[in-house]
Amino acid sequence: MASPKKKLQGLVAATITPMTEHGEINFSVIGRYVDYLVEEQGVKNVFVNGTTGEGLSLSISERCRVAEEWVTKGRNKLDQIVIHVGALSLKESQELAQHAAEIGADGIAVIAPFFLKPWNKDVLINFLKEVAAAAPALPFYYYHIPALTGVKIRAEELLDGIQDKIPSFQGLKFSDTDLLDFGQCVDQNRPRQFAFLFGVDEQLLSALVMGATGAVGSTYNYLGKKTKQMLEAFERKDFSSALNHQFCIQRFINFVVKLGFGVSQTKAIMTLVSGIPMGPPRLPLQKASREFTDNAEAKLKSLDFLSCTDLKDGNMDACS
Ligand SMILES: CC(=O)N[C@@H]([C@@H](O)[C@H](O)[C@H](O)CO)[C@@H](O)CC(=O)C(=O)O
């Protein structure tokens, strides 16, 4: 059975894949990105090549190179680097899993294949099992994101007996708003010490109450410090402060969701806040508009998430 250095917990940034204006991956800024997460946001775990990282829009060799860069630049700085290796082709997924093991990643995660879909739990488990077997020493996480994969098999159902089939199974990344399903995953697996990583940032506090052991999300790239305050308040049972923090985070997310929020907008916000050029997304996504970035900036400032002194040279690239 895979034994992680330690359980994956706390905040995990779903990393962005920086790109040049010409749509090539901008590997040169990943070192700076690692330092920013650790030093400015206090986030020491990353989830690479997932939704936010446009993993499914990258070629296999690009995904390998991005994973390598994170592992190299994150060495002795980050606690855990989990690589998302899900793909439509089992062979490609296995190749990515093997590669993650070879480069010394700390874990792998896999979404359900979403074109020719598994139609029940057993079929999905069979697919995941074959991927996990390609890197048996690496902790394995199932990435549940039904709104994007269209695979609606309940996580609770999937987890039932999963370790008998996948001995390296270590946890669940749950990117869905069904707190009944999430709560039952926790409740029915209490003795098993799985990591329960919640993936809907605006609802994290509710998931903490349900037993989430950590969270993977896009906003922890730039709201990591703020979200940590909520985690700390929750930890010391100061629920009123925790709720205030969650409401404050919700005010921002609610605002950007109404403007239209996704990976493109995450890239623009992160460029603005960190000063690291994240570039445009890859097609079929479209670059966030200047109007979006201006509005997001004003909202960040009004919520005290960003002061003028935080704006570093080059941040305005996000607005061009
Ligand atoms: C659909 C989506 O992108 N969800 C985000 C959230 O962090 C999301 O951006 C946030 O909750 C705001 O809605 C993450 O769950 C995605 C994620 O972890 C990933 O990039 O793999």
Domain residue ranges of the chain, discontinuous segments joined by +: 10-225
Across 260-270, average pLDDT: 98
pTM over 0.90? The answer is: yes
By most ligand atoms within 8 Å of CB, the mutation choice from 17, 83, 200 for ligand 1 is: 200
Burial (CB count within 10 angstroms: exposed 0-12, middle 13-18, buried 19+), residue 49: buried
The pLDDT assigned to 306 comes to: 81
C-alpha distance across the termini of the chain, in Å? 49
State how far Cα 122 lies from the chain centre. Answer: 26
* pLDDT single digits (tens) 37-61: 999 999 999 999 999 999 999 999 9
Inter-axis angle of helices 90-103 and 60-74, nearest 10? 20
* pLDDT single digits (tens) 123-172: 999 999 999 999 999 999 999 999 999 999 999 999 999 999 999 999 99
Residues with Cβ within 8 Å of 49's Cβ and at least 6 positions away in sequence, in order, are 15, 17, 55, 58, 63, 66, 67, 83, 84, 85
Cis status of the peptide bond prior to 284, with omega within 30 of 0: yes
Could you tell me which residues are beta bridge partners of residue 84? 109
By most ligand atoms within 8 Å of CB, the mutation choice from 52, 182, 197, 222 for ligand 1 is: 52
Region 10-225: CATH code? 3.20.20.70
Give the up-direction half-sphere exposure of residue 204: CA atoms within 13 A in the CB hemisphere: 37
Catalytic (active site) residue 143: yes
Q: How confident is the model at residue 310 (pLDDT cuts 50, 70, 90)?
A: low
